Structure 1
């Protein structure tokens, strides 16, 4: 796992699937930089150990981390909030999330997969390798973003890309997708993904049920995306999908509801 992180390079891991929208595939979790004439913001921030990579990816775009207008969090899992507390404390960056997710992001609630859920499956090679990566990534010592704030629609509209939040409960109570209407792109976080270390398949899919607070609700909530027009889908795990959201959702629903890592 350390070798994988060592080989990671911002140049080969960053793409611009829509103008001004930069998608960064981290070693195990993704983040997004959105830039326009008003500045830039970031969506999600990887694991705690991804911080040097996170900072490198921003600077490689000719931007300075201290200038980020906001860090938006799709949901409060540690592989998405890894640098949130650091940005808040070091740069004074507003860390924003859905009101329904605020207690989770601030660390006052927990909606994370439990150690027990993982350990009973750890004899499976894919699960064991993922568990080792999570531990090495600093997940067990992650610091909550205690100064995080709940966004409003007006707050979001005044940020680069004029983002709009779509509440998709089930993965966590306040899990969201973030639509970037001017770019025709949508960041779906873990509402669904295009790949994951526990999955043997690529393309639109739900995460394993153990990652969801309510797996049935998580799948049902994706119907809230049915009327949204987007031509690029940016997941929290896996590659960007340069295809219409409606098509991605159709593929998602044609598959089993969750990957089954060697019987896990």
Structure 2
């Protein structure tokens, strides 16, 4: 789904736009001089679906050069192995995510509990994926005319990061599951979901300048996107927890 020149939504499941498999998160492409950057990978249950979307948008799959993961949860990283194999792209992640994804650590990414609770079907198979680029906190890398900064945003999960993406047209926060439209967050009953860390992440994101919000589920925002962080911050400042999408 073309959003504008240089920005596409190419996967989105039941918690979004139903473009691809129901378990997929929102997956965005950002255009750079030397190829497309893909943010998150979906669940990987039916990787062929994204190729149909790419064809409809007129994007050559071979021009997708890099995949950047926000965290290890299966709806965000489960498709990484298939995409790396089929496209030859480089996979990037923060250190904690990289360790779990490379090992296929189902308990570490809370997939075991999700299967036992019926969130994922019992036959869902998570594939481990090598990670080519391990980023450090606040690290900035340049991809032609696009710069990307990794921002540690734990809370939804211990390993969660977001990316501040600066293009000639926009300053975008690829938020994963750290922040959503309306100032919402994502709280789950998993071992590494930490409400205190979520509140600290809200404070951090509300202090960052960005005009576009690209979250892992639900709608995105192309204008005045910091208002969503400000809404979440209002809750935190009142010693309340922002509302959860879950």
| Normalised TM-score (structure 1) | 0.73
SS in 2 for 1:141: coil
* Between 168-177 and 38-47, the greater mean CA deviation after superposition: 168-177
For 2:213, the equivalent position in structure 1 comes to: 233
CA contact (8 A) 1:40 1:160 kept: no
Distance 1:55 1:241 in 2: 25
- 1:174-221 CA-to-partner distances (Å, cap 9, x unmatched) read 311111122221110001233xxxxxxxx3311133255323212312
For 1:189, the equivalent position in structure 2 comes to: 176
CA contact (8 A) 2:11 2:50 kept: no
Matches within 5 A, 1:7-18: 14-16=1-3
Structure 1 stretches lacking a partner, 5+ long: 1-13, 120-127, 195-202
Match of residue 249, structure 1, among 229, 238, 243: 229
Distance 2:6 2:90 in 1: 21
Matches within 5 A, 1:79-90: 79-90=75-86
Task: Confirm or deny that 1:221 pairs with 2:188.
Answer: no
Which has more strand, going by share of residues? 2
For 2:113, the equivalent position in structure 1 comes to: 115
Q: Are the structure 2 counterparts of residues 142 and 160 from structure 1 closer, same or farther at C-alpha, using a change threshold of 3 Å?
A: farther
For 1:204, the equivalent position in structure 2 comes to: 183
SS in 2 for 1:209: coil
| Normalised TM-score (structure 2) | 0.78
CA contact (8 A) 1:98 1:174 kept: yes
Task: Flag the structure with more relative contact order, 1 or 2, with Cα contacts below 8 A and sequence separation at least 6.
Answer: 1
- 1:122-166 CA-to-partner distances (Å, cap 9, x unmatched) read xxxxxx7xx3xx328x6x311121344313646x31366321111
CA contact (8 A) 2:9 2:28 kept: yes
For 1:146, the equivalent position in structure 2 comes to: 130
For 2:33, the equivalent position in structure 1 comes to: 37
The offset of 1:86, in angstroms, is 0.9
Q: Are the structure 2 counterparts of residues 257 and 226 from structure 1 closer, same or farther at C-alpha, using a change threshold of 3 Å?
A: closer
For 1:158, the equivalent position in structure 2 comes to: 143
The offset of 1:97, in angstroms, is 0.4
The offset of 1:71, in angstroms, is 0.6
Task: Confirm or deny that 1:179 pairs with 2:164.
Answer: yes
CA contact (8 A) 1:184 1:231 kept: yes
Structure 1 stretches of at least 4 aligned residues deviating more than 6 Å after TM superposition: none
For 1:27, the equivalent position in structure 2 comes to: 13
Task: Confirm or deny that 1:78 pairs with 2:68.
Answer: no
